[in-house]
């Protein structure tokens, strides 16, 4: 994913700063000169630095004003969801402004999330925001700006886990004889392998090195172990409070059956 194109103001600022730096290097490379000229050189250097500071300060105020105005604009406008540029070259991320706070959390055996009926389906769906966890920005013509939109990783991971869960539900129903023989079609089974690989890479990217004490002679189920966790609900609420999850294209215009995007086709 490429970085979004730099604005004309930022480009001009970078050019001016490069020019000022080049001028300073040229001055510093001059040989020792008679005292009168050295004094004038000292005055010029102070004046140059002062002008550069004033220029940078004025430009920063202008950019801050533009950001403030754009953040209050309608969600239908382009770049209505400002975010900080990601150093890895990903789309501008509105969550980089969130102050992360680690806290302890004990993993417990949540039977309701292991339910294979409607209750379990609802709970798994509620782990994701209403739009599936996408940050959508639009161009002037209203179409999705694919270069600067994306799926939030944690929600992509949860989506993949639920896809595995739904496939296992279907297989379980087949084994139990709840489906007639020959009527079973493992729809999207190729997607499951993508999900397994995606989650495996995600887990190793931000590995949790917690040591889980054995609760039997041969292993552990992980329950009752304390971990350091991010404030998941806080980040999710941050998106809700700023209307980030409201930016979603209807299935009629983008394709799809259930109002959610297929994360595989985003990246």
Contact 37, 27 (CB under 8 A): no
Tokens for 155, please give them. Answer: 């929600």
Tokens for 129, please give them. Answer: 């925001």
Tokens for 84, please give them. Answer: 């900080």
Q: Where are the domains of the chain?
A: 8-71, 103-265
* Nearest CA-CA partner of 13 in 68, 67, 54: 54
Q: Give 214-254 as a DSSP string.
A: -SBTTB---TT-EEEE--HHHHHHHHHHTTGGG----HHHH
> Model pTM greater than 0.85?
no
Contact 121, 249 (CB under 8 A): no
- Give the pLDDT confidence score for residue 181 in this predicted structure: 59
- Give the pLDDT confidence score for residue 189 in this predicted structure: 62
User: What are the beta bridge partners of residue 103?
Assistant: 229
- Give the pLDDT confidence score for residue 163 in this predicted structure: 92
Contact 164, 21 (CB under 8 A): no
What beta strand segments (E) does 23-144 contain? Answer: 103-106, 134-135
Average pLDDT across each block of 10 residues of the chain; the chain has 267 residues. List them in order.
37 45 45 41 50 46 36 39 67 76 83 87 92 85 83 90 89 70 58 86 86 81 88 90 73 46 47
Give the integer Cα–Cα distance in Å for 192 and 254. Answer: 23
- Give the pLDDT confidence score for residue 220 in this predicted structure: 85
């Amino acid at each position: 994913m490429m970085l979004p194109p730099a604005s004309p103001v930022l480009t001009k600022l970078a050019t001016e700063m490069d020019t000022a730096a080049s001028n300073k290097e040229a001055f510093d490379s001059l040989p020792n000169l008679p005292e009168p000229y050295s004094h004038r050189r000292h005055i010029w250097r102070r004046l140059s630095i002062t002008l550069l500071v004033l220029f940078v300060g004025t430009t920063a105020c202008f950019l801050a004003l533009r950001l403030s105005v754009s953040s209050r604009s309608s969600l239908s406008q382009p770049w209505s969801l400002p975010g900080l540029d990601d150093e890895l070259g990903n789309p501008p991320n509105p969550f980089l402004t969130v102050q992360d706070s680690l806290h302890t959390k004990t993993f417990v055996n949540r039977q309701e999330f292991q339910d294979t009926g409607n209750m379990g389906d609802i709970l798994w769906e509620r782990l994701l925001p209403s739009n599936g966890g996408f940050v959508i920005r639009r161009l002037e013509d209203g179409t999705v700006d694919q270069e600067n939109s994306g799926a939030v990783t944690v929600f992509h991971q949860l989506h993949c886990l639920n896809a595995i869960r739904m496939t296992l539900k279907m297989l379980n129903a087949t084994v139990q004889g709840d489906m007639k023989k020959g009527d079973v079609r493992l729809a999207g089974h190729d997607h499951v392998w993508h999900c397994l690989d995606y989650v495996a890479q995600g887990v190793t990217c931000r590995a949790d090195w917690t040591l889980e004490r054995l609760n039997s002679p041969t292993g552990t189920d992980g329950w009752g172990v304390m971990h350091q966790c991010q404030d998941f609900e806080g980040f999710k609420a941050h998106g809700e409070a700023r209307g980030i999850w409201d930016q979603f294209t209807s299935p009629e215009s983008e394709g799809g059956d259930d109002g959610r995007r297929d994360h595989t086709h985003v990246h």
